[in-house]
Amino acid sequence: MSDAAAASTGPRADEQGLVSVLTSPARVRIVLAGPVDASLSDELATAAREAADAGVPVDVDTRTVTFMDSTVIAAIAHLAHRISHRVRFIEPPDLVRFLLEVTHIGEVVDVVDHDPGFPGALSPTSAR
């Protein structure tokens, strides 16, 4: 399957996406898993608001994303413009890299191919 097909094929009916936020004094990590789409828009908005309000660098972990639509890209773009640090994507799969590239959001975020870890996590919160 091509990258374009992978990014545009919808999620299976039995799959449910997840948005969660990890916080520490030094970083925030938004973890996205499964199919992440418009059905999670409230959770995405809450996660982005929490991340921006923390005032620290933000990581977005998309390693287990199976589907992503423009709702997610819009939320990350909005977040990237609200904070002073560049948003950092942790090991994004090909479908996420494709969306970052075609939407040019990849120009305002960083992508790392190795998880730098998340020491000192205070509390995970799950939006769904």
CATH assignment at residue 52 = 3.30.750.24
The count of domains in the chain is 1
Q: Which of 2, 5, 13 is nearest to 35 (CA)?
A: 13
In a domain, 88, yes or no: yes
**pLDDT of 15:** 78
Asked if the model's pLDDT at residue 11 lies above 80, the reply is no
Asked if the model's pLDDT at residue 12 lies above 90, the reply is no
In a domain, 75, yes or no: yes
**pLDDT of 24:** 92
**pLDDT of 118:** 86
Structure-token pair, residue 98: 């494709």
In a domain, 5, yes or no: no
In a domain, 109, yes or no: yes
* Stretch (H or E) spanning 74: helix 70-82
Give the integer Cα–Cα distance in Å for 87 and 15.
Answer: 27
In a domain, 63, yes or no: yes
Using left for φ > 0, alpha for ψ between -120 and 50, and beta otherwise, residue 14 falls in alpha
Q: Which residue has the tokens 């059905």?
A: 39
In a domain, 61, yes or no: yes
Residue 108 sits at φ, ψ, to 5 deg, of: -115, 5
**pLDDT of 9:** 53
Using left for φ > 0, alpha for ψ between -120 and 50, and beta otherwise, residue 34 falls in left
In a domain, 98, yes or no: yes
Give the integer Cα–Cα distance in Å for 74 and 31.
Answer: 16
Per-residue pLDDT tens over the stretch 65-95: 999 998 999 999 999 999 999 999 999 999 9
Q: Categorize the per-residue pLDDT at 19 as very low, low, confident or very high, splitting at 50, 70 and 90.
A: very high
State the residue range of the domain holding 91.
Answer: 35-117
Q: Starting from the edge strand earliest in sequence, which strands make up the sheet with 109-112, in order?
A: 109-112, 87-90, 58-68, 28-36, 18-23, 123-126
